């Protein structure tokens, strides 16, 4: 090779090496998005980014609680809140695959004693939030008027079912409208128990967590199970959320309900869950299709209370983001905020788990997504 030609090739190589590959993002860029959560004495968050089947960023910020000041890491277990719904949906889908139930079975097929209005509510309605069931949180608080929330006894999934059995009708004709329903997912947990003959937590362990080696993930039941590496929820005290002192706000009257939000998990275990979704370990691509098919209510598009249209399947929002296919779900409960943002075609997943109520994990996760997808923040 002539020296001049070799020098030209070397110069060309230097130029190409100096230009980042499309979608190349540094850890420092991601870290900067979560810089405000760095602390040795305040709650924070855990962040995971998976690309092409490999974790490329996994980091903890802040502490698990104000008593031990233990740093948050990839093993820290957070209450997932409504992030839980995808696991509840998966449990139902496994039972459907087993032939133990069908999506068009009715509520009264499982609970004959349920009032007549349950005859028109299907498993599908429960999964995609078109059941019209009353909100159990509101029903519970009506039973304890003028009582501070911390004084209201916790309700369980079975208690939710009993509250609904005391009602005489649904809020609207099942299938006609879309309204996000925690009640529906509590009832789904009870259907899992009725059909499988096992507790909801045990079914999850045997059919999902153990097969996927999610060793530290569980449906938390006070007095029955213990959460390893546990993060506790926190909120700011006082009128001024920005300047107030942190206080532990870990449990509410609805925190013991499992089907709609009672699972605890960590980045390490959720990476295994993400891999199972990607590789169709538990459910085949065909079996997952109903979960990713947007519901079409008969009275018009599914909408949030403030107006925007949404697409929802079984335990997943399936609205695209910036033209990219997406399946996602947020979780929000007293002291915890969580999100999973999956971009299947881009082979990317972003998970943010926070044990503080003053952050928006979806917003932060999408800022990370923008780095990779080339969208403007």
DSSP state of 309: B
Rounded distance, CA 156 to CA 223, Å?
A: 13
Residue 11 domain flag? no
What are the residues whose beta carbons fall under 8 Å from the beta carbon of 49, sequence distance 6 or more?
Answer: 30, 55, 56, 57, 58, 348, 349, 350, 368
What are the residues whose beta carbons fall under 8 Å from the beta carbon of 269, sequence distance 6 or more?
Answer: 209, 214, 215, 216, 217
pLDDT in tens, 131-150: 999 999 999 999 999 899 88
Would you state the pLDDT for residue 15?
34
52: number of Cβ within 10 Å = 9
How confident is the model over 48-54, as a mean pLDDT? 97
How confident is the model over 259-287, as a mean pLDDT? 98
Count of domains forming the chain:
1
Helices 182-196 and 85-97 sit at what angle, rounded to 10 degrees?
A: 40
Rounded distance, CA 112 to CA 10, Å?
A: 78
Residue 1 domain flag? no
Rounded distance, CA 105 to CA 289, Å?
A: 19
pLDDT in tens, 53-67: 999 999 999 999 999
Residue 22 has pLDDT above 50, yes or no: no
Distance of CA 156 to the CA centre of its chain: 19
162, 115 contact by CB (below 8 A):
no
Which of 173-176's residues contact partners 24+ apart within 8 Å by CB, and which partners? 173/120, 173/132, 174/120, 174/121, 174/122, 174/125, 174/130, 174/131, 174/132, 175/122, 175/125, 175/130, 175/297, 175/298, 176/130, 176/132, 176/297, 176/298, 176/299
Residue 85 domain flag? yes
Residue 80 domain flag? yes
CATH code where residue 266 lies? 3.40.710.10
Would you state the pLDDT for residue 258?
97
Residue 103 domain flag? yes
pLDDT in tens, 142-182: 999 989 988 999 999 999 999 999 999 999 999 999 999 99
Confidence of residue 237 (pLDDT cuts 50, 70, 90): confident
Tokens of 222: 């006070």
Helices 157-165 and 182-196 sit at what angle, rounded to 10 degrees?
A: 110
Nearest Cα residue to 264 out of 75, 53, 92? 75
* Predicted structure pTM score: 0.92
Residue 14 domain flag? no
How confident is the model over 278-290, as a mean pLDDT? 98
Residue 274 domain flag? yes
Tokens of 4: 């001049």
Q: Which domain holds residue 218?
A: 24-373
Residue 231 domain flag? yes
Lowest mean pLDDT among 137-151, 171-185, 201-215, 265-279: 137-151
């Amino acid at each position: 090779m002539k020296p001049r030609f070799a020098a030209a090739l070397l110069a060309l190589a230097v130029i190409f090496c100096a230009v980042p590959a499309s979608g190349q993002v540094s850890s420092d860029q991601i870290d900067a998005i979560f810089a405000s959560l760095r602390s040795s004495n305040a709650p924070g968050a855990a962040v995971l980014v998976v690309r092409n089947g490999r974790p490329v960023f996994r980091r903890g910020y802040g502490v698990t609680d104000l008593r031990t000041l233990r740093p948050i890491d990839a093993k820290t277990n957070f209450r997932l809140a409504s992030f839980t719904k995808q696991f509840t949906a998966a449990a139902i889908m496994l039972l459907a695959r087993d032939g133990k139930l069908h999506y068009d079975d009715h509520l009264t097929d499982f609970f004959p004693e349920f009032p007549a209005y349950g005859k028109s509510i299907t498993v599908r309605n429960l999964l995609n939030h078109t059941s019209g069931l009353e909100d159990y949180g509101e029903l519970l608080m009506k039973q304890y008027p003028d009582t501070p929330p911390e004084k209201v006894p916790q309700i369980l999934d079975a208690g939710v079912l009993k509250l609904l059995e005391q009602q005489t009708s649904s809020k609207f004709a099942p299938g006609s409208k879309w309204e996000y329903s925690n009640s529906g997912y509590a009832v789904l947990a009870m259907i899992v128990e009725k059909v499988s003959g096992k507790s909801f937590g045990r079914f999850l362990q045997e059919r999902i967590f153990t097969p996927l080696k999610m060793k530290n993930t569980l449906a938390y039941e006070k007095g029955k199970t213990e959460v390893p590496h546990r993060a506790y929820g926190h909120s700011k005290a006082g009128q001024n959320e920005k300047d107030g002192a942190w206080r532990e706000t870990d449990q509410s009257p609805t925190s013991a309900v499992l089907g709609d939000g009672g699972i605890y998990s960590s980045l390490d275990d959720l990476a295994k869950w993400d891999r199972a979704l990607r590789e169709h370990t538990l459910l085949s691509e065909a079996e997952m299709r109903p979960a990713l098919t947007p519901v079409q209510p008969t009275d018009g598009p599914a909408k949030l209370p403030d107006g925007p249209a949404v697409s929802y399947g079984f335990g997943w929002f399936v609205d695209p983001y910036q033209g990219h296919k997406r399946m996602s779900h947020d979780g929000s409960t007293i002291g915890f905020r969580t999100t999973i943002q999956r971009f299947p075609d881009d082979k990317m997943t972003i998970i943010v788990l926070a044990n503080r109520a003053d952050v928006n994990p979806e917003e932060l996760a999408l800022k990370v997504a923008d780095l990779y997808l080339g969208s403007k923040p």
